[in-house]
Structure 1
């Protein structure tokens, strides 16, 4: 009886002296937790025994002074608990079952004390898992896009949906989010599932949707971005020319018809020359186009021809007709008319060249010269186009020696130069032998030279020839050194003599003409006088008539 009274007394003292308030510890799911008794401040010498229990009736172990701990056969803790020297309770591999109140009851020499500790277990949720994912959403139609799921959490995780990093909130119309929480009966861990229903607009065609798992004991975790195809009907088509212009005759032109609907149509109508062509493609090729193909082209939807588009195609062309082509052979002094006819779809520019020299305008030949010979090129250009036409002009004529001169060479040598014109190129034959040379044949002119050393005075001839004829000139050559000066004086004298002879010839010709006129007049008058006599008159006439006749004859003689 005495012992029972003592125990009751101790319990009463214990309850009176028990510390108010409840200590709380937190442990990660699966870890080992150490629960101190009176925050680890008990001394082994002051305690007769310690008992650990949970909730109200669950016994875990008892440790008496100087004895080993006695572990109760509780299925929850038999193999997972131990006690330390400072009477702390050690629990391994904590689970949600361990989320409860543990009490350390310590019996001392004079009192009994209890120290309760609330243990909270947390577990981070799993990565977000996307299920029931759809592939496309239609504009204006509510579609269940996906489910986001996370499991194994304590406390339960929260899920938030985002579109382009902006959180989505349920509005009951365009956005509906349904969240479901499920707790496993055995593990007591939570699984959170969230379903997103969404009504798309056209602007969502490239939107990125994500779900985010949020938990108090872990960082936020985002799912991979979800991109959905947005389906909507075609409202507009566009027709474009794929091929690069400008287009010339003979090219191929590719037309492409595109629609703003999704998915896009797989077939279109193409209208060519007013004729409808339905093709199972969005392209149509015009082959070997001509200038007649210039015009408007159209495409439309097969099932709605009112939704259409058009484009204008221009086939450029450049026609150049040169009136003179090939090789043109003309005579010296003749005329030649050059014509060029240009027909183009745009503004064309015409330029002329003779050889490598640019001409300012269309060449005109009123009186052809040898210098007009050459290759002529007509270039007509327009944006993206260039046409070239050529002709070769050859001006022919018989040889003509324009000059025959002599010059003083080294020592006693004389250099004779024969300047000849003609086409084809004239060849020269000298009447003497010597060292020959010739200049460049240009503009129908060539200079042939011969170097001689005359021993005697001689006359040298230069004969120029081609297929059209020949010409010859001669020159006197002296064996003396002064020949050059004398020849120059002789040439000048010859020139003066020629002019004097010409003047004398003119005077003599005029005199002879006057005499001829006088003689003719005398003969006429003589015949007239004889014919004026009458029958029966005297042959000699009267004395006055004879006198007048003699005076008239005398005047005629003076003339």
Structure 2
């Protein structure tokens, strides 16, 4: 084959479309060992990212002593005269391996879509009509995957550093890209292959991955698990709505925490009443009414829920009648009866009955009884009704108020009459005493006893008072007589 023909073939190979590496160098010429002969690789170690394309740069030299019959790339050395495989004939490589050299000194090759199984040492091998030669040591190719690494335990408030790891240092300068839950992250990048999360929050939890700019390969997701104490602790009540005495009620405690809370306690007011996430009451009573809250605990802390009110409805009970006074009244008067009850909601409807009568005799919380009998009340609310025990009202027959008024007026009149009689009697008595004194005066000795009879100091006070009010009787004594003058001179004026 002429030189021109060989040159034409080489140029055709260089300008031909990318094809699997199948070439038999049918070159007129020879190859012999010399100082400048051999294969050189640059670089000799390549770290490539999975699914990327690798170019293994290669040059070789030869002398024109022997004819080159074949040149190819392989990933094995000759052993016991066993020819190493030509990768262009290997189905694993044939569609991905492309020769880029010029068949003279450049033996560069490109391997696309590399996988982890492509991690080998690769050699360029030449076979002449006299000998065989392999460029050893070859190109060491390491194909790496990407892995995201993080601390084993992350607690809310920690500073966390995520690292995008590879099994070797990538040959090409790489720019790393970070994503959380498949959404790119553009902030908080520390170093090129590290992501710094300062004062991590529970919202930072999620699936993290990294990639190299310009490459399709993405690392497997790493789930960042952020631990935090219970939050958003709440209580829910089954059934919801109105709770009636006798119902079955379930209280459930829920919380947001990581790890999930396993320790729950229930409080009524300030007293612990039960443990566990569920608090069930099979037949609820009014005694179960009150404010409840739960406490959720995990290894990082605890949290109380807001208090919820359990309001148990029940029908009236302990219905009783309160009576003002003894219940004994006089005909024409009334006694007030009051009805009281314990119920939820409070009873607003009250009916009054007389024992042994079917019809109600009154309504309202208070009732005025006007007649004898046994009375009871019945209290009603939305949940039901209950009656009280009966109380006895006794009415005594008697005079009406108008009769008593007449009697009172008569008594007052009688009292006045008695006072008048006593007064008249007193006056009459005084008059009698006065006349008696005058009579005594007439019968006394005019010379010896006149002064003595009229000596006021010897008389009683009543007589003195009487005499001072009695006028002189001119018919008894004549003016000018000695007795008259004597009496007149002795009588006080």
Band of TM-score, shorter chain: 0.3 to 0.5
The structure, 1 or 2, with the larger RCO (C-alpha pairs under 8 Å, 6+ apart) is: 2
